[in-house]
Chain A
Amino acid sequence: MRKTHALVQVAMALLEDPTGKHWGYELSKQAGVRSGVMYPMLTRMLDEGWLADGWEDEATIREKRPARRYYELTDEGRLQLGAILQEARSDARFRGLNWRFA
């Protein structure tokens, strides 16, 4: 996958909670990436096997809304995205990014 600002930002947002569930809208807000860019990227990550997806359990929903789709990082995804962040940290192109965690 091509290393872009959007990918690095999404990787950072995903790795802030590497074992948790991530939701589309929250992820785009957290990463600061437009959904027009983020959703195709999530599809590519799913195809690569970096992410696994699932649907929210309807019994746990309190509000009146349909079940949402969530994304979870796989072991492979944690490795790959970690490596991408490592590389990006030393890359001059990504110096302007707000690095949230060490």
Chain B
Amino acid sequence: MAELFEAVASWPTLLLVLLVFGFAPGFVLRLLVLVYPCTDPRRRELIAELYTVPRIQRPLWVTEQLEVALFEGLAHRIRAIRSITRRRRARVQSYKRAKRLRFASVAVVGVAVGVIVDTIVTWDWAVGIASWIVAVAVAVIVLRERAARRRLSARARRRFWP
């Protein structure tokens, strides 16, 4: 009996009780709510509700929240990721379309210049000038895009590894 009393009243038991009923519920719940997207009000709600749950019931209540977080939070998170991916894909597509349009307009301008020049000088000269204009314009576009990409990746690097 004395041994049992000593075991119950020992320091490790006290630490275990403090951990299970004091520290662990709040810590685990704060980790669990990270499953929800950061804009979801349920993150704040669940943390606030924890303080109204009697201390003795907290470990079990937090375990119940695992179910909520997995079935509700994960679904919200997946939906949020999907919408971000869709938006990003649309942006990439519009970027590609703009790029194609830019190349097409350069080609049209080159041909138009060639035709105009053809009326003034000989055909060979006109073709030569037009192809030079197209080549220079394409080179300018490619260089500008490369510089923009480099700027973007530098900004992304600064954002994630400041």
Residues of A within 8 A of B (CB): 23-26, 34-36, 39-40, 43, 53, 56, 63, 65-69
**A61 → B minimal CB distance (Å):** 10
- A69 and B68 contact, Cβ closer than 8 Å, known pairs A25-B53, A53-B41: no
**10 additional A-B residue pairs with CB within 8 Å, beyond A25-B49, A39-B72, A65-B52:** A25-B53, A35-B65, A36-B64, A36-B68, A40-B71, A53-B41, A65-B51, A66-B44, A69-B45, A69-B48
A39 CB contacts on chain B under 8 angstroms? 42, 68, 72
Is the pair A35, B68 in contact by a Cβ cutoff of 8 Å?
yes
List residues 31-66 of chain B with CB under 8 A from any CB of chain A: 41-42, 44-49, 51-53, 61, 64-65
**Which B-chain residue is minimally distant from A69 (CB atoms)?**
B45
A68 and B45 CA atoms in complex are apart in Å by: 6
Is the pair A66, B65 in contact by a Cβ cutoff of 8 Å?
no
Is the pair A34, B49 in contact by a Cβ cutoff of 8 Å?
no
A35 CB contacts on chain B under 8 angstroms? 61, 64-65, 68
Q: State which size class the interface on B falls in.
A: 10 to 19
A-contact bits for B84-124, CB 8 A (1 contact / 0 none): 00000000000000000000000000000000000000000
B145 within 8 A of A: no
Determine which residue in B41, B64, B72 has the highest number of CB atoms from chain A within 10 A of its CB, and name it: B64
Q: What are 14 A-B pairs with beta-carbon distances under 8 A?
A: A25-B49, A25-B53, A35-B64, A35-B65, A35-B68, A36-B67, A40-B71, A63-B51, A65-B51, A65-B52, A66-B47, A67-B48, A68-B52, A69-B45
Is the pair B72, A43 in contact by a Cβ cutoff of 8 Å?
yes
A36 CB contacts on chain B under 8 angstroms? 64-65, 67-68, 71
- A66 and B64 contact, Cβ closer than 8 Å, known pairs A36-B71, A40-B71: no
B45 touches which of A24, A26, A34, A63 (Cβ 8 Å): A24
